[in-house]
Amino acid sequence: MFNIETLAERQRIGLYSRVSVIGYVLRNPGTALAWRATAATRRTHRTATTQWVQVWRARGTSCGCTHGCPTGKHIRRKAPGQGGVLSMDAATRDEQRAIGDVRTAIGIGMADSKQRLLIVEDDETLRETLSYNLAREGYEVASSGDGGEALDMARESAYDLIVLDVMLPTLDGLSICRILRKEQRTPIILLTARSGEVDRIMGLETGADDYVVKPFSLGEFLARVRAVLRRAAPEVTTRLESGDLSLDLIGRRAYRSEEELRLSHKEFDLLAALMQNVGTALSRDRLLQQVWGYDYAGDTRTVDVHIRWLREKIEVDPAQPQRIITVRGVGYRFEE
């Protein structure tokens, strides 16, 4: 293992590329623990790096697998006969997010502004092809080959678009689309080999924003993705209102019956996230990612604490809230 100062110096003088150095760091957890304390080029990422180093220490530093996974869990494939579909349980997804956030913290992760897409397709070759080409277009891509797992992923994280095959193991695409339409407004593109008019109508009536019939060209698919994302782009707004409650997003001020509320930075962002999704049940994980960011090392209890503080400030009776409603087993919903 290289001395960390030597590694940083070789990057500085150009002997090693930045990506090569970061790859080495991620394959050698012991080096990663020291990396945060050196190299002036990463000063701007020091806080986030320190947070994830703490997580790394708490979860263990090596699992002994060949690709250098630092967490003890990694993506596994189902046994032959199960279709070779990529599968991850909830704990594994959390660990994979941790690795991605370490990459972001030390400088090679996806930018926060990149649009996030979820590809749900049981054909592994097609899934990997679509994921690869969407990543080349600049999107951040997650994927799954199982309907039940995909539903969990869509509930746990915020995506800008979901590409959903109709025929899936565990839970079919139409059922997933129907469930998600009751919970969120994320745009959905359905993929299917059924080209009949009745099938198209059923897919669109279920809540899909577009319907793509297989086989299709890659160019057409990418064009449809861009078109759906354009249509779903939120209108620029500077003010949110609900009854006697209003938020000035530019001045970052909150008012209730013309009286200004004293909200902390995170309380304001959390209230804005809820008011921008009126009537939609938002999971704690989704709120944590949207308000605190992907590099936050805390847990979902942080959301509960801030919700309690918000209720004390905006509800007539915080013990019986009428605006911020608890959705059991999911998270919270804002009602007008």
DSSP-assigned states of every residue in 130-159: HHHHHHHTT-EEEEES-HHHHHHHHHHS--
Structural fold of domain 239-334: Arc Repressor Mutant, subunit A (1.10.10)
Reduced to 3 states (helix: H, G, I; strand: E, B; else coil), residue 80 is coil
* CATH topology identical between 110-232 and 239-334: no
Nearest to 284 by CA among 274, 54, 276: 274
**Per-residue pLDDT tens listing for the chain (336 residues):** 445 555 555 555 455 455 455 555 555 544 444 444 343 333 333 333 333 333 333 444 334 343 344 433 333 333 333 333 333 344 444 444 444 444 333 333 333 458 999 999 999 999 999 999 999 999 999 999 999 999 999 998 889 999 999 999 999 999 999 999 988 889 999 998 888 888 888 888 888 999 999 999 999 999 999 999 998 876 667 889 998 999 998 899 999 988 999 999 999 999 999 998 888 889 988 898 888 876 677 778 899 999 999 999 999 999 999 999 999 988 999 998
The model carries a pTM of 0.47
Query: How many of the other CB atoms lie within 10 Å of CB of 233?
Result: 10
Every domain of the chain and the residues it spans:
110-232, 239-334
What's the CATH class of domain 110-232? alpha beta
DSSP 44: G
